Structures are given as C-alpha cells and as structure tokens.
Amino acid sequence: MNLNSRLIPALLVFAALAGCAMPSAIKPGATTADELVQRLGKPTATRPHPQGGESWDYVYGPEGVETWRFDVDGSRMVRSATQLLTHERLYRVVPGVTTEAEVLELLGKPREIVRFRDETAWEWRVRLAPSYGIFVVRFGPNGLATGVNVLVDPASDSDDKDSGP
C-alpha cells in the first residue's frame, strides 16, 4: 500500500470529524441542544427568549471572523442558525439610533472593548474581501452608537494588505 492510498482515507476521516465541529454543519430542526454542545462546546453567551427557549452565541474571536447564534426552543431543539458577522448585519448599526443592547443582539459579543474618556469602542474582526478588517462601533455615555469604522486588519494574512475594504 503506497502513501497516497493510506493518506486519502485518513484525510476523509479527518474532514468528516472536522465537519461535525463546524457551526455551519448544525441543522436546525434536526440538531438537539445536547448535540450542539457535544459538537461545539459550551456557548459563549446565552439569552432567554421572552416567549420561551434561548439564544446561544458561539464567538470565534478574538482572531476568528464568525459569531454564530443558535435559537434553541423549549423542547431543546435547535430552530435556527445565524452567522452574525455579515455585511448586511454590520451596516444595520445606525449612529444616533442603535443602542448597545441592539448591537449585542445584531453582532454578538465584541472581541475587544476600549474605553475612552467620552466614548467606548467595541471591535469585531470581520471578513472583508479580499482580506480581513476590524469593525468598530463607538458609543457615547448615553449608550447610543455615535459612529462606525471599518479598518483594514494589520494582522491580515492577505497579500493585498494595502487595498481598502
């Protein structure tokens, strides 16, 4: 038996096992809360729903670019799976309108919080084709977003570091 004939089955087994740990492999309506924990571990954050059930967040930071939210119903079945750090969700943050609580609901826990004298900045690492960036939401003392910025991530491993988002 040559090396390739041994390597290919090993790679297939590895890929199958790795697929089980990927958030995108969780199937709403077919995965239970216990299976979710078995595959992905303990959630980073949980929030109860007023109508029953919970939202479970899995934050893959500080260097990861995904935050997944799974809604689990009262019977402990996963009902939805949402990748939170998408362009569509990022740009739903409206300065002067969106609150800290609403930003947490939209994007999940930030990778970093920096406090300044007159404002606080929350950061998420995000995927910006062809590289990565840092999405920043700034908040005033009243808890309202005062602005957003998108910065090219200096730690990006892209060959095209000088191009903008």
pLDDT in tens, 96-111: 999 999 999 999 999 9
Q: CB–CB of 130/157 below 8 Å?
A: no
Average model confidence (pLDDT) for the chain?
85
Predicted confidence at residue 164, as pLDDT, reads: 40
Q: Could you tell me the pTM of the whole model? A: 0.78
Residue 21 has pLDDT above 80, yes or no: no
CATH fold, domain 96-152, is Beta-lactamase Inhibitory Protein; Chain:B, domain 1 (3.30.1450)
The C-alpha atoms of residue 106 and residue 117 are separated, in whole angstroms, by: 26
Predicted confidence at residue 154, as pLDDT, reads: 77
The C-alpha atoms of residue 144 and residue 138 are separated, in whole angstroms, by: 8
Predicted confidence at residue 17, as pLDDT, reads: 38
Does residue 62 have a cis peptide bond before it, meaning omega lies within 30 degrees of 0? yes
pLDDT band with cut points at 50, 70 and 90 for residue 129: confident
Give the CATH number of domain 25-83: 3.30.1450.10
Domain 25-83 matches domain 96-152 at the CATH topology level: yes
pLDDT in tens, 111-124: 999 999 999 999 99
Q: Can you tell me the mean pLDDT for 130-137? A: 91
pLDDT band with cut points at 50, 70 and 90 for residue 151: very high
- Ordered by start, the domain boundaries in the chain are 25-83, 96-152
Predicted confidence at residue 80, as pLDDT, reads: 97
The C-alpha atoms of residue 99 and residue 48 are separated, in whole angstroms, by: 19
